[in-house]
Structure 1
Amino acid sequence: MTDTAPRQKRPPTIHDVAAHAGVSRGTVSRVLQGGHNVSPASHQAVDAAIRKLGYVVNRAARSLVTRRAGSVAFLLSETHERLFQDPNLATLLRGCTTALAAHDIPLVLIAAGTEAERRRIAPYLAAHQVDGVLLFTSHRGTPMIELLQQAELPFVCCGKPHDQAGAVSYVVADDREGARTMMRHLIDSGRRRIATIAGPADGPGGLERLHGYREMLAEHGIRYNKSLVATGDYSRASGESCMRELLARVPDLDAVFVASDLMAEGALSAIERAGLSVPGDIAVGSFDDSPVATATNPPLTTMRQPWQRISDMMVRQLLAQIEGDGPASVILPTELVVRESA
């Protein structure tokens, strides 16, 4: 009796790719590891062979040879709620995933917002189950930096960490200069009673934006008034409650600089509930240029953070560290985006 069952097609190997491209197995291997010391013509031939044959890298086999995990972690040192509520975080995560995909490196998402979560992931990181970490936290003094340093695991922070021992890689937007630019815009439009809803006091971005606010008041001869300052936590609810607090203390304020679009959305709601108009009675300037900025009524005048560049630079720095480079820091400029709120 003849067996008529179809034979399962064997998946292509690195040897098949080399034969199809007309190059050595070593050349294919170098292409898969980044293309160092490979001519453009050979690189193009290998890429074409991979696409035609449908070759998929055997990551387990590669890890045995390179002693690398072949993946990178996006470590969120925040509560789970922040992941779903903060539009900036989603944008950053998407940007990092895209930047790593260009290098055929998968991204593993790890949440470590509680002490219990940090205890659970510590052995995973110490065992180098990933090759490096992209770290996001809005609070300074996070224990994750010390943990990563002890594990001797390459990492890059989104934001400038403070009070840390040793050099630490980070990529950040120029928060202080961005705040100065927004304040200059509000002052130049004739506003003088300018309040601010600052970010958390233990977060580097919040402190830098508050410093920028105070500096521009001083440069324009406007006295700093603590009653014009409220502190939120970057959530919409905190922006609304801070705005209510400011209106109760200083009902004649004529502008407010808010440290994030999400808080500014809440501030707009509080201003509307108070029967006031934006920008007629109160001009509102914000920070981030997240999707929230164009969804509010009126749309927000805000400082645009270059999220794609931040993502790209974080990934570039991390891959360089994995290859043996030392820590580095990058500060990127922001851009004023003028809309109807100020």
Structure 2
Amino acid sequence: MTPSTRRPNLEQVAAAAGVSRATVSRVVNGVATVDADLRTRVEKAIADLRYVPNQAARTLVTRRTDAVALVAAEPDPRVFGDPFFSAIVRGVSQELLDAGVQLTLLMAQSYPDLDRIERYLRSAPLDGVLLISEHAAYDPIPLAMHDAGLPLVIGGRPIDDGLGVPYVDNDNVGGGRIAAEHLLSRGCRMIATVAGPGDMTAGTDRLRGFSDALGASFDARLVEHGDFTQPGGEIAAERLLSRAPDIDGIFAASDLMALGVLRALRRAGRRVRDDVAVVGFDDIPLAAAAEPPLTTVRQDTVLQGRAMARMLLSAIRPDRPAPSDGGLPDLRGLDRLVLPVALVERESA
């Protein structure tokens, strides 16, 4: 390798910027107290020389790896097939990219996979962990991260609040309530629900809001649980219709399940909105393109992903200035955030 092609080092950056090596090191390692003019000069020299910090050396100085894992406790067909997950990943990526942090995506195909991922997280060079789609049946990661002292933020209300794990959720209880109230306002009197999985807080919270809003009108016989997938929603709707053919309103706890409900209703010869009003939850892009377009409860999952990443960054980089853009509050010191939801009225209800 000739001198002209050798990777530039800190001394060369310092010489180009007219500052000390120590100043370059502080800029590279994100020290916030560097004078703004000096920082600008160093950053220009870094760009001009195309300097790339030595990650191993940087880790020794900062005790950070600048890497975060996002764990989805679902198999990859769910992760890549459900718009919820892609929106979360997009939001997380936006924030981590701005902070110069790398993202590793880990998916659990089965319960044994969660054990494998948990062992990996304990030893991997990571600054923190983000967890989505937590299930009550078995998930060792929250307790393991708590015991290991590795910062963790969960997307959704944690199953075990006793661990005190920070989380970012959407107002699932309020969303279930909004859906039920809208169906009541449409004149529906026999209202059923395709609820989410009973081992996930999103499923139980949306069902709780729904039942609270119906009050004495709530009928447990008109509840079927799905798995947040389109086939799951279709099968659940068929079961409901076989038990109660006179249903005139259905709340599906996800838009994908609502699309399955629409298919089941068409096959049963029931006209959506005229015979049965349908409300979903999520407002994924397919909701507006459904036939008929789906009335749904909108949650901003991109914003949820951004908030999760920002909350984690506030724990692993407490000296980092808090971003002030993007519709999020200052998350430093917060250990929980519940984002608002809203009804989007279309032709299905």
TM-score (normalised: structure 1): 0.90
Matched residue of 1:287: which SS?
strand
Q: Distance in 2 between matches of 1:46 and 1:277?
A: 66
Residue identity matched to 1:142: D
Q: 2:80 aligns with which of 84, 88, 91?
A: 84
Q: Counterpart in 2 of 1:150?
A: 147
- Equivalent residue for 1:170? 167
2:63 to 64, 67, 89: 67
Segments of 5+ residues of structure 1 without an aligned counterpart are none
Q: Distance in 1 between matches of 2:209 and 2:12?
A: 59
State the 1:94 CA deviation: 1.9
Which amino acid in 1 is paired with 2:114?
A: R
- Is 1:180 the counterpart of 2:191? The answer is no
Moved more, 41-50 or 74-83: 41-50
1:35 Cα deviation from its structure 2 partner: 5.0
Aligned residue among 129, 132, 156 for 1:159: 156
Q: Distance in 1 between matches of 2:266 and 2:134?
A: 29
Q: For structure 2, which runs of at least 5 residues remain unmatched after alignment? A: 319-331
1:290 equivalent in alignment to 2:284:
yes
Determine whether 1:321 maps to 2:315.
yes
Distance 1:303 1:19, change over 3 A: farther
Q: Which amino acid aligns with 1:170?
A: Y
Contact 1:160 1:172 in 2 (8 A): yes
* CA deviation profile, 1:56-113 (whole Å, cap 9, x unmatched): 2321221122232220001122223221222101111121112101011110111234
Deviates more, 1:59-68 or 1:82-91: 59-68
Indicate which of 303, 307, 312 corresponds to 1:309.
303
1:194 is matched with 191
Coordinate RMSD, CA, aligned: 2.3
- Secondary structure of 2:188's partner? coil
Residue matched to 1:132: 128
TM-score of the aligned structures, taking structure 2 as reference length: 0.88
Inter-partner Cα distance in structure 2 for 1:283 and 1:91: 27
- Indicate whether 1:11 and 2:7 are aligned: yes
**Does residue 333 in structure 1 map to residue 318 in structure 2?**
no
1:329 shift after superposition: 0.8
CA separation in 2, counterparts of 1:130 and 1:165? 24
2:143, 2:163 within 8 Å by CA — same for their partners in 1? no
Deviation of the 1:212 alpha carbon: 0.7
Instruction: Find the aligned partners of 1:295 and 1:46 in 2 and give their Cα distance.
Output: 50
1:223 Cα deviation from its structure 2 partner: 1.6
Decide whether aligned partners of structure 1 residues 199 and 138 sit closer, same or farther in structure 2, where only a CA change above 3 A counts: farther
Size of the aligned set, in residue pairs, is 335
Moved more, 223-232 or 133-142: 133-142
Question: Are 2:157 and 2:167, in contact at CA under 8 Å, matched by a contact in 1?
Answer: yes
What is the rounded CA distance, in whole Å, between the counterparts of 2:254 and 2:51 in structure 1? Answer: 45
The verdict on how the C-alpha distance between 1:46 and 1:336 changes in structure 2, with shifts beyond 3 A counting, is farther
Check whether the contact 1:69–1:128 (CA below 8 A) recurs between aligned residues.
no
Displacement of 1:128 = 4.4
Task: State whether residues 134 and 159 of structure 2, in contact with CA within 8 Å, keep that contact through their aligned partners in structure 1.
Answer: no
